[in-house]
């Protein structure tokens, strides 16, 4: 990337319409922690009026969540994200990336390390809920809460606040007639599209149950799934941290792997990964694989897009009040708002409850909760308070980082509201409707 990354800032007329959409500005009230002030800083960097090692410049741009909430509300059509990424790429030469962030991005990039580590993490998951409750909102307690939030919600801890187990309510609301399966049993829909599921890193290691639900619901709606061996981490965490070289290397691996997979679509159930994959053409600008990256990006669809266009076929009724939290990289980066709601609406009886300011970031933002823990928690506190006012039985969101951040925040606040992916609810509803048949022993 070059100075052209700043071109998207040119339309800014400093009107300030974006300020109230910015989570960090709402917390600090500091102009330099809002999009208008950051654009001034980015332009100063571009024009070399400020050096890339300027401490204040780095401070305020590192405090940006990269949530992109400032983009859709801008009447001038400012494109902010490429300039932020370029700035962080330049900062990487001058300021150290926090050790915790370096460790996480290194592990995620390397399957031979990531797979055993996340396997061990899964083993500790049952203890994580206990630890999170015992340690409350301490740093360790919050990390334990993040791990606890990754478990599949098919039964679990009791929820006294809502009169019984909230997890169990998901099960009771639509009790599946069989164990999870892979074959539709009722009136198989004709195969309309072929697809490969993007497995990612954290999703593959800690959210395998969401991948399984994604596969089942896609097959139930006329998709034929094919494998894509060789795929890996999307590189979004690395790009956001300014590690462009690693991000490009990971992108090349995926472009080659998905280029070999003969499928119409690449389905993603993690909003951050989906946004990154859709921008591979920009990330690999000037690379030999740039044309292939554009071709691959054109095939990428969020699972809610795919299922909404395919139907989705309705499932069994579920008596649940669900709050939907739109991930920033789905709502703002991919501009996907309606489809996840349509997916939830395919479950008869499910009631969507509104959450104040649901369009605001939860403070997860990739590795932000590690690199900016204090501000991240302040941003999260606003989100948790809004969810507490809505009092849903369950919260649905389509990004692993959001699920872990919000799940930990709810646990720390003593709120026993399970966090699930929207496809998990549709999957559970399909199970109860007899859409799946049991396979295997």
Residue 337 C-beta: closest distance to ligand SF4, Å: 17
Residue 39 C-beta: closest distance to ligand SF4, Å: 6
Taking the least distance from each CB to ligand SF4, the nearer of 214 and 372 is: 372
Residue 8 C-beta: closest distance to ligand SF4, Å: 10
Taking the least distance from each CB to ligand SF4, the nearer of 361 and 419 is: 361
Residue 85 C-beta: closest distance to ligand SF4, Å: 11
- Tokens 């109230």 belong to 20
Quickly list DSSP for 257-290: HHHHS--SEEEE--HHHHHHHHTHHHHTTTSTTH
Rounded to whole angstroms, the Cα distance separating 268 from 177 reads 27
The token pair at 77 is 């059509």
SS3 content of the chain, % helix, strand, coil (to 5): 55, 5, 40
Q: What are phi and psi of 351, to 5 degrees?
A: -105, 125
Quickly list DSSP for 397-408: -S-HHHHHHHHH
Residue 222 C-beta: closest distance to ligand SF4, Å: 37
Give Cα 56 distance to the centre of its chain.
Answer: 29
Residue 121 C-beta: closest distance to ligand SF4, Å: 29
The token pair at 43 is 């332009």
Taking the least distance from each CB to ligand SF4, the nearer of 45 and 148 is: 45
Residue 11 C-beta: closest distance to ligand SF4, Å: 6
Taking the least distance from each CB to ligand SF4, the nearer of 8 and 145 is: 8
Taking the least distance from each CB to ligand SF4, the nearer of 65 and 384 is: 65
Residue 6 C-beta: closest distance to ligand SF4, Å: 13
Q: What are phi and psi of 198, to 5 degrees?
A: -75, 125
Taking the least distance from each CB to ligand SF4, the nearer of 278 and 428 is: 278
Residue 398 C-beta: closest distance to ligand SF4, Å: 18
CB 293 within 8 A of CB 267: no
Residue 419 parent element (H or E): strand 419-420
Residue 215 Cα distances to 182, 211, 384, angstroms: 7, 6, 31
**Residue among 206, 71, 186, 63 at smallest CA distance from 125:** 206
Residue 282 C-beta: closest distance to ligand SF4, Å: 17
Rounded to whole angstroms, the Cα distance separating 104 from 243 reads 13
Rounded to whole angstroms, the Cα distance separating 329 from 380 reads 16
Taking the least distance from each CB to ligand SF4, the nearer of 20 and 437 is: 20
Taking the least distance from each CB to ligand SF4, the nearer of 197 and 360 is: 360
3-class SS of residue 336:
coil
CB 304 within 8 A of CB 343: yes
CB 410 within 8 A of CB 395: yes
Taking the least distance from each CB to ligand SF4, the nearer of 149 and 361 is: 361
Give the binding site for ligand SF4 (CB under 6 A): 12-18, 21-24, 35-36, 38-39, 64-70, 74, 76, 78, 80
Taking the least distance from each CB to ligand SF4, the nearer of 27 and 106 is: 27
Q: What are phi and psi of 194, to 5 degrees?
A: -105, 150
Q: What are phi and psi of 261, to 5 degrees?
A: -80, 120
């Amino acid at each position: 990337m070059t100075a052209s990354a700043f071109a998207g800032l040119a339309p800014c007329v400093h009107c300030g319409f974006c300020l109230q959409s910015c989570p960090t500005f709402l917390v600090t009230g500091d102009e330099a922690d809002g999009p208008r002030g950051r654009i001034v800083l980015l332009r100063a960097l571009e024009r070399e009026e400020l050096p890339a090692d300027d401490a204040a410049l780095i401070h305020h741009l590192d405090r940006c969540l990269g949530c992109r909430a400032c983009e859709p509300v801008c009447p001038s059509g400012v494109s902010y994200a490429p300039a932020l990424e370029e700035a962080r790429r330049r900062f990487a030469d001058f300021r150290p990336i926090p050790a915790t962030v370096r460790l996480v991005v290194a592990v995620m990039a390397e399957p031979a390390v990531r797979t055993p580590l996340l396997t061990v993490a899964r083993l500790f998951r049952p203890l994580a809920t206990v630890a999170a409750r015992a340690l409350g909102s301490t740093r360790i307690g919050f990390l334990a809460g993040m791990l606890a939030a990754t478990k599949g919600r098919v039964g679990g801890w009791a929820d006294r606040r809502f009169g019984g187990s909230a997890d169990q309510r998901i099960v009771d609301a639509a009790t599946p007639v069989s164990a999870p399966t892979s074959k539709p049993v009722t009136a198989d829909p004709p195969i309309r599209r072929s697809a490969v599921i993007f497995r990612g890193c954290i999703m593959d290691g800690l959210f395998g149950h969401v991948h399984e639900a994604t596969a089942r619901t896609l097959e139930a709606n006329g998709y034929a799934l094919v494998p894509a061996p060789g795929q890996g981490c999307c590189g979004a965490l690395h790009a956001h941290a300014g590690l462009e070289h690693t991000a490009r290397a990971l992108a090349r691996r995926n472009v080659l792997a998905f280029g070999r997979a003969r499928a119409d679509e690449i389905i993603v159930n993690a909003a951050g990964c989906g946004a990154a994959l859709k921008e591979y053409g920009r990330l690999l600008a000037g690379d030999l694989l740039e044309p292939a990256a554009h071709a691959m990006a054109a095939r990428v669809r969020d699972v809610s897009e795919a299922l909404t266009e395919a139907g989705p076929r309705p499932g069994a009724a579920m008596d649940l009040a669900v709050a939907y939290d739109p991930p920033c990289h789905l709502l703002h980066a991919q501009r996907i708002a309606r489809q996840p709601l349509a997916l939830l609406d395919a479950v008869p009886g499910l009631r969507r409850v509104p959450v104040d300011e649901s369009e605001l970031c939860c403070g997860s933002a990739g590795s932000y909760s590690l690199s900016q823990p204090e501000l991240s928690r302040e941003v999260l506190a606003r989100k948790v308070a809004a969810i507490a006012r809505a009092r849903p039985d369950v919260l649905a969101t389509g990004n692993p980082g959001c699920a872990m951040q919000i799940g930990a925040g709810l646990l720390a606040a003593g709120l026993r509201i399970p966090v699930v992916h929207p496809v998990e609810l549709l999957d559970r509803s399909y199970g109860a409707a007899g859409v799946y048949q049991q396979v295997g022993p």
